[in-house]
Chain A
Amino acid sequence: MTSPTNTTVRPRRGDRIFRGVSIGAGVVILSVLVLVAAFLVFKALPALDPSAQIDSTPDGFLSFVGPLVFGTLFSATLALIFATPLSIGIGLFISHYAPRRIASALGYVIDLLAAIPSVVYGLWGIQVFAPFIQPVYQWMSDNWGFIPIFAGPVSGTGRTILTVGVVLAIMILPIMSALAREVFLQTPRLHEEAALALGATRWEMIQMAVLPFARSGLLSAAMLGLGRALGETMAVAMVLSPAAAVTFNLLTSENPSTIASTIALDFPEASGLDVNALIAAGLVLFAITMVVNSFARAIVTRQRTKMGEN
């Protein structure tokens, strides 16, 4: 038997091996990320060459990816506009309004909904939602057509960027409301009770105690939702009828497409430099989501230091 001091100085062989293996796993993760970036850059470079002849993008890579970046940001922003208030409402409902007993069951149902595959949302969006909403679009255009974003002519299929925004919102709703609920549940109980004891109504208590505490958590939930919506592929690819146009019109059949859906639609038939152009577009998407996600993480870290690690 070795004495305890000995073990700390010279670890046993089993310890050394196990430690080495688990560090190795960490190294694998680091190298996977480096590899992802390296392979994508390597495969993207030929398309970035200005003299390259790319069939699908005769005017160079920037004019190909520019409208797609616009479409990606536009559809994700629409989704966020719809999903943020609803997810805050759902989070508050589960954390502060619903009876205790059904609240946890509801939370569980929402977790289940977050696991539904995106291709199912896409199928639902095009088969059920788009035909259902098309008459509403017609009505909106007829009555509010003087507002530029609602200008006609209305798409006959309902497969517009607005539909995509709504479907994306429905998709990110479960994850965003789950995060919002978590944040609301962490409100210090004493703050809530103090507010109620001073005679505040339930909403005033939420205004004074819950929302200020949750602000940064909600912001990072919104950022994570945005990250999901930016990278979402199949629902957009199935629902949207794309035209690679840069327009803010919500209801016409001329819609801006997104990076992810363009890759999914074009990749199976692409060959030669087109493949490289699509991979380069994927790299741009990767960069955008990384910026959004690191922004979300920065908010969380700042919050932690402010709260003193809880």
Chain B
Amino acid sequence: MTTVRGRNTTLTRGTVIALFVSGMAISYFVAAISRGDGEFVPLGIFALGMVVFGLLVVPASWFVEGRRKAINRTMTGLVFSAFGFALIPLVSLVWTVVTLGLARFDAQFFGSSMRNVVGAGGGALHAVIGTLEITLMAALISIPIGLLTSVYLVEYGRGRFSNWVTTMVDVMTGIPSIVAGLFAFAMFSLFFGPGVRMGIAGAVALSVLMIPVVVRSSEEMLRLVPNELREASLALGVPKWLTILRVVIPTAIGGLVTGIMIAIARVIGETAPLLIAVGFTQSMNYNPFGERMMTLPVFVYNSYSSQGTDAQAYIDRAWAGALTLIVIVMVLNLGARIVSRVFRPVGNH
């Protein structure tokens, strides 16, 4: 019986590389032999090669290095492959959206609505306008409420009421987006009758989803402001409300703006509440206080779900809409990152 415990025996790097190369070679030969109907897929060969490599290296390690190191190598392999495995669908998603979306990502797409369009042509201008208007109104509702609530929680909140508010913000975070849409519909249908669909209802629904995100991120940012700054300002005789407005908020402004941009990115892609509360239309509607409006996410869904004659044209428009959405979300996220970097407090503060 060979006990390796206590001895410094390891697989050398050369051995591991040799095993890796032979794993890949075996995989390639297997693929070459069994190549019947399918094409060579480099990624598939690589994946199979990694599996073979694992099957080679673990017994080798067990034999040379002992059980514990073999398990360690196995787990390392599993963690790496979990990451690689999860990457496949996400890369595929981004790749398909970009390649298929570019087919109709043109001037006509951003220059016309779908009014009187059957088959090819047409665009999503009405949806872009609807998304911008509804998201802007949702932001106008949520940002003041969210910011002031976080100011209350950080600067004033003591006792039972602030605990209640914190809990309720938590509960609001968990509201499914479709329930927010139903709420907005239920509220507006009480005032405007059972068939109500209008932009402002969608903005209310989005606000329900956006407010907790704004409260959360702003609360975190305000808590990061050092207490010394507040105390210094109060000691100079500045009233508390001016201290908050002139000292606390300016110090945290980068983080606050970042949080708000990320919250907007969260809600701008919401489909379900807008489908319920705003409905859809093929025509331009600039007025958020009357009649149905189109929004980008609903445009994507609708183009796909009700394909007319020349189905490919509808699918192409759906992908172009999806690409537009992803670009908007990415720009907002990157912008948020740039803002937080620009406004980052610089030393000596």
Contacts and interface: CB of A to CB of B under 8 A. Distances in A.
Interface string B43-67: 0000000000000000000000000
A23 B152 contact: yes
A144 interface: no
A interface majority secondary structure? helix
Interface stretch (B111-119, B157-165, B252-260): B157-165
Interface in B63-93: 68-69, 71-72, 75-76, 78-83, 85-86, 89-90, 92-93
9 contacts: A33-B168, A90-B82, A115-B329, A117-B269, A117-B329, A170-B90, A201-B68, A234-B297, A292-B174
B97 interface: yes
Interface string A198-212: 000111101000000
A86 B178 contact: no
Interface in A217-273: 227, 230-234, 237-238, 260, 263-264, 267-268, 271
A115 B75 CA distance: 30
Interface stretch (A34-42, A63-71, A154-162, A185-193): A34-42
A18 B152 CA distance: 9
A180 B79 CA distance: 13
B83 A170 contact: no
Given A93-B82, A238-B305, A279-B186, A263 B178 contact: yes
Contacts of A286: 175-176, 179
A24 B309 CA distance: 54
A23 B330 CA distance: 35
A52 interface: no
Contacts of B75: 202-203, 206
Interface in B227-267: 237, 239-242, 244-245, 262, 265-266
A263 B145 contact: no
Interface stretch (A121-129, A145-153, A302-310): A121-129
Interface stretch (B16-24, B26-34, B282-290, B317-325): B317-325
Contacts of B177: 231, 233
A254 to B, nearest CB: 21
A141 B319 CA distance: 32
A35 B187 contact: yes
B209 to A, nearest CB: 11
Nearest to A129: B89
Interface of A: 1, 7, 11-12, 14-15, 17-19, 21-26, 28-30, 32-33, 35-36, 39-40, 42-43, 85-90, 92-94, 97, 108, 111-113, 115-124, 126-129, 170, 173-174, 177, 201-204, 206, 227, 230-234, 237-238, 260, 263-264, 267-268, 271, 275, 278-279, 282-283, 285-286, 289-290, 292-294, 297
B41 interface: no
B315 A127 contact: yes
A112 B175 CA distance: 22
Given A25-B152, A119-B271, A120-B322, A230 B89 contact: no
B178 A119 contact: no
Residue of B86, B155, B170 contacting most chain A CB atoms (<10 Å): B86
B149 to A, nearest CB: 4
Contact of B93 (A116, A206, A279, A297): A116
Interface of B: 68-69, 71-72, 75-76, 78-83, 85-86, 89-90, 92-93, 96-97, 100, 144-149, 151-153, 155-157, 161-162, 164-165, 168-180, 182-183, 185-187, 189-190, 194-195, 208, 211, 215, 237, 239-242, 244-245, 262, 265-266, 268-272, 275-276, 279-280, 297, 300-301, 304-305, 315, 318-319, 322, 325-326, 329-330, 333, 337
Given A173-B86, A231-B178, A22 B239 contact: no
A309 B170 CA distance: 18
Contact of A123 (B80, B194, B280, B300): B300
Contacts of A36: 175, 179-180, 183, 208
Contacts of B90: 113, 170, 173-174
Contact of A25 (B149, B268, B270): B149
Contacts of B325: 117, 119-120
A285 B61 CA distance: 51
Nearest to B207: A32
Contacts of A15: 239-241
A227 B172 CA distance: 12
A120 B97 contact: yes
Contacts of B155: 22
Contacts of A33: 168, 171-172
Contacts of B208: 32, 36
B176 A234 contact: no
B145 A14 contact: no
Contacts of B71: 201, 203
A263 B187 CA distance: 17
Contact of B241 (A18, A124, A238, A278): A18
